[in-house]
Amino acid sequence: MRRPRIGVTLDLDLARGRYELPRGYADAVLAAGGLPVPLPYGDASVAAAYLALVDGLVLSGGDFDVDPAQYGETRRRGCGQAKPERTAFEWALCDAALAGRIPLLGVCGGMQLLNVVRGGTLYQDLRDDLGVDGHEQPPPKDVPHHAVEIVPGSLLASLVGTERLDVGSTHHQAVREPGGGVLVSARAPDGVVEAVELPDLPFALGVQWHPEAAAARSTRQAAIYRGLVDAARDLRR
């Protein structure tokens, strides 16, 4: 049986002219039974063509922020650099995937983008906007840094259970107002949103942490990628 093809968005190092992706994404997709397909950005108009090649989608994280103009705000102190081309490409991918009910996993910034695409907003900087510290994890990045509380009955709970889950995450932004149809399915002890999902779709999940970084040694983290691949397999059938 053919492995479900899972598109994974790439970052771009402009200075060196190289597309990049942490190895953990590909390893997690492969271990879950999928086939990772790298998706280089640069032209939002071809997003639908890329999406036609895959059965599922991962919006990966990256060291940049969604432009606050995308959710109706002006840039404030603490907001980081934007990557307009990447955001435009991933926005088009996300929008088309949701419309086509294609299984989607948003990781870190990918979760934030998912929320914004659905009309939600972000804290531009947790320290400035909310007075919260402790979400920019120091190295090593693959070691759990804090726990999250999972909402019973959610898609996330069906994958990892409802017990507190230890996660590793590095982010200075977070979901502020959930978008239309967006369910918050996990929070950190300080109340910061750590996972969102769209219950009206078969599989549309965003997590603020990096499950691929711990998937090799944590069955609960690996279950998130297995859920994506299983949903992609069901869609293809």
The set of catalytic residues is 108, 210, 212
Residues 224, 12, 107, CA angle at the centre, nearest 5°?
20
| 8 A C-beta contact, residue 114 and residue 196 | yes
Query: Distances from the Cα of 132 to the Cαs of 76, 135, 149, 173, 192, in angstroms?
Result: 16, 8, 17, 10, 9
Phi and psi at residue 187, to the nearest 5°:
-135, 155
Amino acid at 51: L
Cis peptide before 4 (omega within 30 of 0): no
Whether 118 and 198 have beta carbons less than 8 Å apart is answered as: yes
